[in-house]
Amino acid sequence: MALAAITYLDRVCISIAAPKIMRDLHLTTVQMGYVFSAFTLAYGIFEIPTAWWADRVGSRRVLTRIVLWWSAFTVATAAAFNYVSLLVIRFLFGVGEAGAWPNAARVFARWIPERERGRVQGLFFAAAHLSGGVTPVLVAYLMIWLPWRAVFPIVGCTGLFWAFIWYGWFRDEPRDHVSVGPEEADLIESTRGLPARHDGEFMEVFRTPSLVPLCVQYFANTYGFYFFITWLPTYLTKSRGMTREELAIFSGLPLLLSVVADVTGGMTTDALSRRFGLRIGRCGVGSVAYFFAAIAMVSGTLIQEPHAAGLLIALGGAASMFTLAPSWATAIELGGSHAAVLSATMNTSGQVGGVLSPVVLAYIVQRFGNWNLPLHILSGLYLIAALSWIVIQPERRRRESAGSQRA
Protein backbone atom coordinates (compact mmCIF):
# COMPACT_ATOMS: atom_id res chain seq x y z
CA MET A 1 0.00 0.00 0.00
CA ALA A 2 2.91 2.35 0.72
CA LEU A 3 4.35 1.47 -2.70
CA ALA A 4 1.03 2.29 -4.37
CA ALA A 5 0.87 5.62 -2.55
CA ILE A 6 4.34 6.87 -3.42
CA THR A 7 4.09 5.92 -7.11
CA TYR A 8 1.11 8.28 -7.40
CA LEU A 9 2.72 11.25 -5.68
CA ASP A 10 4.68 12.47 -8.70
CA ARG A 11 2.07 11.53 -11.31
CA VAL A 12 -0.45 13.85 -9.68
CA CYS A 13 2.10 16.41 -8.53
CA ILE A 14 3.11 17.32 -12.08
CA SER A 15 -0.52 17.83 -13.16
CA ILE A 16 -1.02 20.42 -10.40
CA ALA A 17 2.30 22.10 -11.20
CA ALA A 18 1.64 21.99 -14.98
CA PRO A 19 0.39 25.60 -15.41
CA LYS A 20 3.50 27.04 -13.71
CA ILE A 21 5.82 24.64 -15.54
CA MET A 22 4.24 25.66 -18.86
CA ARG A 23 4.67 29.32 -17.99
CA ASP A 24 8.29 29.05 -16.87
CA LEU A 25 9.43 26.76 -19.70
CA HIS A 26 7.23 28.44 -22.34
CA LEU A 27 5.34 25.26 -23.28
CA THR A 28 2.18 25.02 -25.35
CA THR A 29 -0.78 22.82 -24.42
CA VAL A 30 0.26 20.21 -27.01
CA GLN A 31 3.86 20.20 -25.76
CA MET A 32 2.68 19.63 -22.19
CA GLY A 33 0.51 16.81 -23.50
CA TYR A 34 3.62 15.16 -24.93
CA VAL A 35 5.42 15.64 -21.61
CA PHE A 36 2.61 13.79 -19.84
CA SER A 37 2.70 11.06 -22.48
CA ALA A 38 6.50 10.64 -22.51
CA PHE A 39 6.38 9.06 -19.05
CA THR A 40 3.53 6.76 -20.04
CA LEU A 41 5.15 5.72 -23.33
CA ALA A 42 8.35 4.61 -21.61
CA TYR A 43 6.34 2.97 -18.83
CA GLY A 44 4.45 0.90 -21.39
CA ILE A 45 7.54 -0.09 -23.41
CA PHE A 46 9.43 -1.42 -20.39
CA GLU A 47 6.49 -2.94 -18.53
CA ILE A 48 6.72 -6.51 -19.85
CA PRO A 49 10.56 -6.73 -19.80
CA THR A 50 10.58 -5.61 -16.16
CA ALA A 51 7.93 -8.18 -15.26
CA TRP A 52 9.96 -10.89 -17.03
CA TRP A 53 13.02 -9.77 -15.06
CA ALA A 54 11.05 -10.09 -11.80
CA ASP A 55 10.19 -13.69 -12.71
CA ARG A 56 13.94 -14.29 -12.92
CA VAL A 57 15.28 -12.45 -9.84
CA GLY A 58 12.21 -11.77 -7.67
CA SER A 59 10.10 -8.73 -6.81
CA ARG A 60 12.14 -7.83 -3.73
CA ARG A 61 15.12 -6.69 -5.78
CA VAL A 62 13.18 -5.31 -8.74
CA LEU A 63 10.83 -3.15 -6.68
CA THR A 64 13.74 -1.75 -4.70
CA ARG A 65 15.45 -0.71 -7.93
CA ILE A 66 12.20 0.77 -9.30
CA VAL A 67 11.57 3.01 -6.29
CA LEU A 68 15.19 4.20 -6.09
CA TRP A 69 14.95 5.16 -9.77
CA TRP A 70 11.57 6.82 -9.09
CA SER A 71 13.08 8.93 -6.32
CA ALA A 72 16.02 10.05 -8.46
CA PHE A 73 13.92 11.19 -11.42
CA THR A 74 11.25 12.84 -9.28
CA VAL A 75 14.05 15.05 -7.96
CA ALA A 76 15.47 15.45 -11.50
CA THR A 77 12.16 16.87 -12.76
CA ALA A 78 12.98 20.05 -10.84
CA ALA A 79 16.13 20.46 -12.94
CA ALA A 80 14.33 20.69 -16.30
CA PHE A 81 15.30 23.89 -18.14
CA ASN A 82 13.39 23.60 -21.44
CA TYR A 83 10.90 21.43 -23.34
CA VAL A 84 13.41 18.82 -24.53
CA SER A 85 15.04 18.37 -21.13
CA LEU A 86 11.65 17.89 -19.45
CA LEU A 87 10.62 15.42 -22.16
CA VAL A 88 13.81 13.36 -21.66
CA ILE A 89 13.53 13.38 -17.87
CA ARG A 90 9.92 12.21 -17.93
CA PHE A 91 10.71 9.48 -20.48
CA LEU A 92 13.58 8.15 -18.34
CA PHE A 93 11.29 8.39 -15.33
CA GLY A 94 8.85 6.04 -17.07
CA VAL A 95 11.65 3.62 -17.99
CA GLY A 96 12.53 3.20 -14.34
CA GLU A 97 9.04 3.04 -12.84
CA ALA A 98 7.76 0.48 -15.37
CA GLY A 99 6.75 -2.82 -13.83
CA ALA A 100 5.88 -1.56 -10.36
CA TRP A 101 2.29 -2.77 -10.36
CA PRO A 102 2.87 -6.09 -12.16
CA ASN A 103 5.49 -6.76 -9.51
CA ALA A 104 2.87 -6.03 -6.87
CA ALA A 105 0.57 -8.51 -8.63
CA ARG A 106 3.39 -11.05 -8.54
CA VAL A 107 3.74 -10.48 -4.79
CA PHE A 108 -0.01 -11.02 -4.29
CA ALA A 109 0.09 -14.18 -6.42
CA ARG A 110 2.65 -15.67 -4.03
CA TRP A 111 1.44 -14.31 -0.69
CA ILE A 112 -2.37 -14.02 -0.92
CA PRO A 113 -4.90 -16.89 -1.12
CA GLU A 114 -7.14 -16.79 -4.19
CA ARG A 115 -10.28 -16.06 -2.19
CA GLU A 116 -8.82 -12.80 -0.83
CA ARG A 117 -7.12 -11.32 -3.89
CA GLY A 118 -9.90 -8.96 -4.90
CA ARG A 119 -9.97 -7.42 -1.43
CA VAL A 120 -6.19 -7.08 -1.33
CA GLN A 121 -6.09 -5.52 -4.79
CA GLY A 122 -8.80 -3.11 -3.65
CA LEU A 123 -6.74 -2.04 -0.64
CA PHE A 124 -3.66 -1.63 -2.86
CA PHE A 125 -5.45 0.67 -5.31
CA ALA A 126 -7.19 2.51 -2.46
CA ALA A 127 -3.77 3.54 -1.13
CA ALA A 128 -2.77 4.76 -4.60
CA HIS A 129 -5.93 6.77 -5.10
CA LEU A 130 -5.91 8.18 -1.58
CA SER A 131 -2.41 9.43 -2.28
CA GLY A 132 -3.55 10.83 -5.63
CA GLY A 133 -6.57 12.50 -4.07
CA VAL A 134 -4.64 14.13 -1.23
CA THR A 135 -1.67 15.19 -3.37
CA PRO A 136 -3.47 18.10 -5.15
CA VAL A 137 -4.29 19.70 -1.81
CA LEU A 138 -0.77 19.09 -0.47
CA VAL A 139 0.97 20.37 -3.60
CA ALA A 140 -1.35 23.38 -3.91
CA TYR A 141 -0.50 24.31 -0.32
CA LEU A 142 3.26 23.83 -0.81
CA MET A 143 3.20 25.94 -3.96
CA ILE A 144 1.82 28.87 -1.99
CA TRP A 145 5.14 29.04 -0.16
CA LEU A 146 7.56 27.29 -2.52
CA PRO A 147 8.37 27.40 -6.26
CA TRP A 148 7.44 24.29 -8.21
CA ARG A 149 11.12 23.31 -8.50
CA ALA A 150 11.31 22.92 -4.71
CA VAL A 151 8.26 20.65 -4.50
CA PHE A 152 9.63 17.74 -6.55
CA PRO A 153 12.71 17.08 -4.34
CA ILE A 154 10.43 16.98 -1.28
CA VAL A 155 8.21 14.40 -2.96
CA GLY A 156 11.17 12.37 -4.27
CA CYS A 157 12.76 11.79 -0.88
CA THR A 158 9.83 9.65 0.31
CA GLY A 159 10.87 6.78 -1.96
CA LEU A 160 14.32 6.44 -0.43
CA PHE A 161 12.88 5.57 2.96
CA TRP A 162 10.45 3.05 1.46
CA ALA A 163 13.19 1.24 -0.54
CA PHE A 164 15.37 0.84 2.55
CA ILE A 165 12.54 -0.66 4.63
CA TRP A 166 11.25 -2.88 1.80
CA TYR A 167 14.55 -4.52 0.95
CA GLY A 168 15.26 -5.36 4.57
CA TRP A 169 11.78 -6.62 5.44
CA PHE A 170 10.24 -8.35 2.38
CA ARG A 171 10.93 -11.85 1.02
CA ASP A 172 9.70 -13.21 -2.33
CA GLU A 173 8.38 -16.45 -0.85
CA PRO A 174 6.37 -16.63 2.41
CA ARG A 175 8.41 -19.62 3.58
CA ASP A 176 11.59 -17.51 3.51
CA HIS A 177 10.21 -14.79 5.81
CA VAL A 178 11.30 -14.91 9.43
CA SER A 179 7.79 -14.03 10.66
CA VAL A 180 6.04 -16.85 8.76
CA GLY A 181 5.87 -20.21 10.51
CA PRO A 182 5.60 -23.59 8.75
CA GLU A 183 1.82 -23.83 9.25
CA GLU A 184 1.16 -20.41 7.78
CA ALA A 185 3.51 -21.09 4.85
CA ASP A 186 1.67 -24.37 4.15
CA LEU A 187 -1.68 -22.58 4.28
CA ILE A 188 -0.60 -19.86 1.84
CA GLU A 189 1.02 -22.28 -0.60
CA SER A 190 -2.02 -24.58 -0.60
CA THR A 191 -4.54 -21.77 -1.24
CA ARG A 192 -2.75 -19.42 -3.63
CA GLY A 193 -3.54 -21.50 -6.72
CA LEU A 194 -0.03 -21.64 -8.16
CA PRO A 195 1.45 -24.84 -9.61
CA ALA A 196 4.51 -26.30 -7.93
CA ARG A 197 6.52 -25.45 -11.03
CA HIS A 198 6.23 -22.82 -13.77
CA ASP A 199 3.41 -23.88 -16.10
CA GLY A 200 5.20 -23.44 -19.42
CA GLU A 201 7.20 -20.63 -21.02
CA PHE A 202 6.07 -17.09 -20.42
CA MET A 203 5.31 -16.66 -24.16
CA GLU A 204 2.26 -18.87 -23.58
CA VAL A 205 0.72 -15.91 -21.76
CA PHE A 206 0.15 -14.17 -25.10
CA ARG A 207 -2.02 -17.07 -26.30
CA THR A 208 -4.47 -16.73 -23.41
CA PRO A 209 -7.95 -16.47 -25.04
CA SER A 210 -9.28 -13.77 -22.69
CA LEU A 211 -6.16 -11.60 -22.91
CA VAL A 212 -7.39 -9.32 -25.72
CA PRO A 213 -10.71 -8.26 -24.14
CA LEU A 214 -8.95 -7.93 -20.77
CA CYS A 215 -6.50 -5.53 -22.41
CA VAL A 216 -9.28 -3.62 -24.22
CA GLN A 217 -11.16 -2.86 -21.02
CA TYR A 218 -7.96 -1.83 -19.27
CA PHE A 219 -7.08 0.50 -22.16
CA ALA A 220 -10.30 2.39 -21.43
CA ASN A 221 -9.58 2.45 -17.70
CA THR A 222 -6.12 3.98 -18.01
CA TYR A 223 -7.18 6.35 -20.80
CA GLY A 224 -9.69 7.81 -18.37
CA PHE A 225 -7.34 7.74 -15.41
CA TYR A 226 -4.72 9.81 -17.23
CA PHE A 227 -7.34 12.43 -17.99
CA PHE A 228 -8.01 12.72 -14.26
CA ILE A 229 -4.34 13.11 -13.29
CA THR A 230 -3.28 15.34 -16.19
CA TRP A 231 -5.95 17.60 -17.72
CA LEU A 232 -8.83 17.49 -15.22
CA PRO A 233 -7.60 20.55 -13.26
CA THR A 234 -7.31 22.51 -16.51
CA TYR A 235 -10.73 21.26 -17.68
CA LEU A 236 -12.36 22.42 -14.46
CA THR A 237 -10.73 25.83 -14.86
CA LYS A 238 -11.33 26.39 -18.58
CA SER A 239 -14.73 24.73 -18.99
CA ARG A 240 -16.27 25.14 -15.54
CA GLY A 241 -14.60 28.32 -14.28
CA MET A 242 -13.63 26.93 -10.88
CA THR A 243 -11.54 28.96 -8.48
CA ARG A 244 -8.24 27.76 -7.00
CA GLU A 245 -10.02 26.69 -3.80
CA GLU A 246 -12.67 24.75 -5.74
CA LEU A 247 -9.98 23.27 -7.94
CA ALA A 248 -8.06 21.87 -4.97
CA ILE A 249 -11.18 19.91 -3.99
CA PHE A 250 -12.68 18.81 -7.30
CA SER A 251 -9.42 17.92 -9.07
CA GLY A 252 -8.69 15.35 -6.35
CA LEU A 253 -12.30 14.22 -5.87
CA PRO A 254 -12.24 11.40 -8.50
CA LEU A 255 -9.30 9.75 -6.75
CA LEU A 256 -10.71 10.30 -3.27
CA LEU A 257 -14.01 8.67 -4.29
CA SER A 258 -11.96 5.94 -5.95
CA VAL A 259 -10.59 4.98 -2.52
CA VAL A 260 -14.12 3.86 -1.56
CA ALA A 261 -14.65 2.28 -4.98
CA ASP A 262 -11.38 0.33 -4.75
CA VAL A 263 -12.17 -1.22 -1.38
CA THR A 264 -15.84 -1.94 -2.07
CA GLY A 265 -14.98 -3.21 -5.55
CA GLY A 266 -12.50 -5.66 -4.08
CA MET A 267 -14.93 -6.84 -1.42
CA THR A 268 -17.75 -7.13 -3.95
CA THR A 269 -15.79 -9.12 -6.52
CA ASP A 270 -14.54 -11.59 -3.88
CA ALA A 271 -17.96 -12.00 -2.25
CA LEU A 272 -19.78 -12.56 -5.54
CA SER A 273 -17.04 -14.88 -6.82
CA ARG A 274 -17.38 -17.09 -3.76
CA ARG A 275 -21.17 -17.16 -3.99
CA PHE A 276 -21.81 -17.23 -7.75
CA GLY A 277 -18.45 -18.05 -9.35
CA LEU A 278 -15.81 -16.00 -11.16
CA ARG A 279 -18.05 -15.28 -14.14
CA ILE A 280 -20.41 -13.16 -12.06
CA GLY A 281 -17.86 -12.02 -9.50
CA ARG A 282 -15.32 -10.71 -11.98
CA CYS A 283 -17.12 -10.09 -15.29
CA GLY A 284 -20.44 -8.94 -13.85
CA VAL A 285 -18.80 -6.41 -11.56
CA GLY A 286 -16.58 -5.08 -14.33
CA SER A 287 -19.35 -4.71 -16.91
CA VAL A 288 -21.89 -3.00 -14.64
CA ALA A 289 -19.32 -0.60 -13.20
CA TYR A 290 -18.13 0.54 -16.63
CA PHE A 291 -21.71 1.06 -17.82
CA PHE A 292 -22.39 3.33 -14.84
CA ALA A 293 -19.09 5.17 -15.48
CA ALA A 294 -20.12 5.89 -19.08
CA ILE A 295 -23.49 7.31 -18.05
CA ALA A 296 -22.05 9.46 -15.27
CA MET A 297 -19.26 10.82 -17.47
CA VAL A 298 -21.47 11.98 -20.32
CA SER A 299 -24.01 13.39 -17.84
CA GLY A 300 -21.24 15.49 -16.30
CA THR A 301 -20.66 17.23 -19.63
CA LEU A 302 -24.35 17.98 -20.19
CA ILE A 303 -25.22 19.50 -16.82
CA GLN A 304 -24.62 23.24 -16.46
CA GLU A 305 -24.01 23.68 -12.72
CA PRO A 306 -20.20 23.42 -12.20
CA HIS A 307 -20.24 21.63 -8.85
CA ALA A 308 -22.79 19.06 -9.99
CA ALA A 309 -20.80 18.49 -13.19
CA GLY A 310 -17.59 18.02 -11.21
CA LEU A 311 -19.31 15.54 -8.89
CA LEU A 312 -20.74 13.47 -11.77
CA ILE A 313 -17.35 13.33 -13.51
CA ALA A 314 -15.77 12.25 -10.22
CA LEU A 315 -18.42 9.55 -9.75
CA GLY A 316 -17.76 8.31 -13.30
CA GLY A 317 -14.06 8.09 -12.60
CA ALA A 318 -14.65 6.27 -9.32
CA ALA A 319 -16.99 3.79 -11.02
CA SER A 320 -14.28 2.96 -13.55
CA MET A 321 -11.88 2.27 -10.67
CA PHE A 322 -14.43 -0.13 -9.16
CA THR A 323 -13.19 -2.50 -11.91
CA LEU A 324 -9.53 -2.50 -10.85
CA ALA A 325 -9.82 -5.32 -8.32
CA PRO A 326 -11.59 -7.71 -10.72
CA SER A 327 -9.19 -6.73 -13.52
CA TRP A 328 -6.00 -7.49 -11.59
CA ALA A 329 -7.46 -10.51 -9.80
CA THR A 330 -8.43 -11.92 -13.22
CA ALA A 331 -4.93 -11.22 -14.56
CA ILE A 332 -3.41 -13.15 -11.65
CA GLU A 333 -5.86 -16.04 -12.12
CA LEU A 334 -5.25 -16.26 -15.87
CA GLY A 335 -1.49 -15.77 -15.55
CA GLY A 336 -0.75 -18.47 -12.97
CA SER A 337 3.02 -18.74 -12.51
CA HIS A 338 3.44 -15.90 -14.99
CA ALA A 339 1.02 -13.51 -13.27
CA ALA A 340 3.59 -10.70 -13.51
CA VAL A 341 3.93 -11.04 -17.29
CA LEU A 342 0.20 -11.33 -17.98
CA SER A 343 -0.67 -8.43 -15.68
CA ALA A 344 2.16 -6.44 -17.29
CA THR A 345 0.64 -7.12 -20.71
CA MET A 346 -2.72 -5.88 -19.50
CA ASN A 347 -1.10 -2.85 -17.91
CA THR A 348 0.88 -2.13 -21.09
CA SER A 349 -2.37 -1.88 -23.03
CA GLY A 350 -3.49 0.57 -20.38
CA GLN A 351 -0.34 2.61 -20.83
CA VAL A 352 -1.13 2.91 -24.55
CA GLY A 353 -4.36 4.55 -23.47
CA GLY A 354 -2.37 6.68 -21.03
CA VAL A 355 -0.03 7.82 -23.82
CA LEU A 356 -2.91 8.78 -26.10
CA SER A 357 -5.19 10.40 -23.55
CA PRO A 358 -3.31 13.68 -22.84
CA VAL A 359 -2.23 14.18 -26.46
CA VAL A 360 -5.63 13.37 -28.01
CA LEU A 361 -7.30 15.84 -25.64
CA ALA A 362 -4.76 18.53 -26.48
CA TYR A 363 -5.30 18.14 -30.23
CA ILE A 364 -9.09 18.00 -29.91
CA VAL A 365 -9.19 21.17 -27.81
CA GLN A 366 -6.76 22.91 -30.16
CA ARG A 367 -8.76 21.88 -33.24
CA PHE A 368 -12.35 22.27 -32.01
CA GLY A 369 -12.05 24.45 -28.91
CA ASN A 370 -14.37 22.03 -27.09
CA TRP A 371 -13.35 20.69 -23.68
CA ASN A 372 -16.40 18.39 -23.41
CA LEU A 373 -15.73 16.39 -26.59
CA PRO A 374 -12.81 14.40 -25.04
CA LEU A 375 -15.14 13.34 -22.22
CA HIS A 376 -17.70 12.09 -24.75
CA ILE A 377 -14.95 9.94 -26.28
CA LEU A 378 -14.08 8.63 -22.83
CA SER A 379 -17.70 7.73 -22.19
CA GLY A 380 -17.72 5.70 -25.42
CA LEU A 381 -14.58 3.87 -24.35
CA TYR A 382 -16.21 2.95 -21.05
CA LEU A 383 -19.15 1.42 -22.97
CA ILE A 384 -16.73 -0.66 -25.07
CA ALA A 385 -15.04 -1.78 -21.84
CA ALA A 386 -18.40 -2.87 -20.41
CA LEU A 387 -18.96 -5.06 -23.49
CA SER A 388 -15.42 -6.48 -23.30
CA TRP A 389 -16.08 -7.98 -19.87
CA ILE A 390 -18.88 -10.08 -21.32
CA VAL A 391 -16.43 -12.23 -23.33
CA ILE A 392 -13.69 -12.56 -20.68
CA GLN A 393 -13.44 -16.06 -19.16
CA PRO A 394 -11.65 -15.76 -15.80
CA GLU A 395 -12.52 -19.34 -14.85
CA ARG A 396 -10.82 -20.90 -17.88
CA ARG A 397 -7.36 -21.46 -16.33
CA ARG A 398 -8.96 -23.00 -13.25
CA ARG A 399 -10.79 -25.55 -15.44
CA GLU A 400 -7.64 -26.26 -17.46
CA SER A 401 -5.56 -26.73 -14.27
CA ALA A 402 -8.12 -29.11 -12.84
CA GLY A 403 -8.15 -31.08 -16.10
CA SER A 404 -4.34 -31.35 -16.22
CA GLN A 405 -4.24 -32.55 -12.60
CA ARG A 406 -6.80 -35.30 -13.36
CA ALA A 407 -4.80 -36.31 -16.41
Residue 406 domain-assigned (yes or no): no
What pLDDT is recorded for position 377?
Answer: 95
Q: Output the pLDDT for position 200.
A: 55
Nearest one of 141, 377, 134 to 257, comparing CA atoms = 134
- Number of structural domains the chain divides into: 1
Burial class (CB in 10 A: 0-12, 13-18, 19+), 141: exposed
The whole domain housing 265 covers 2-174+210-393
pLDDT of residue 202: 60
Position 25 in a domain = yes
**Residue 31 identity:** Q
Residue 133 sits in a domain whose CATH number is: 1.20.1250.20
Q: Is residue 197 part of a domain?
A: no
Region of residue 193 (phi > 0: left; psi between -120 and 50: alpha; otherwise: beta): left
Residue 338 is predicted with a pLDDT of 78
Q: What is the pTM of this model?
A: 0.78
298 domain residue, yes or no: yes
Residue 296 belongs to some domain of the structure: yes
Which is nearest to 392 in space by CA: 303, 302, 279?
A: 279
Helix extents (H) in 201-305: 211-230, 232-238, 244-250, 253-276, 278, 285-302
What is the greatest pairwise CA distance in the chain? 68
Q: How high is the pLDDT of residue 405?
A: 42
Q: Is residue 180 part of a domain?
A: no
- Give the pLDDT confidence score for residue 195 in this predicted structure: 66
pLDDT beneath 70, residues of the chain: 195-202, 396-407
* Cα end-to-end span (Å), the chain: 40
- 336-370 b/e with 16+ CB inside 10 Å = b? bbbbbbbbbbbbbbbbbbbbbbbbbbbebbeeeee
Indicate whether 221 belongs to any domain: yes
pLDDT at 204: 73
CA 283 to CA 54: how far, in whole Å? 28
Is 399 a domain residue?
no
Give the pLDDT confidence score for residue 351 in this predicted structure.
Answer: 85
Q: Which whole-number Å values give the CA distances from 362 to 23, 29, 129, 313, in the listed order?
A: 17, 6, 24, 19
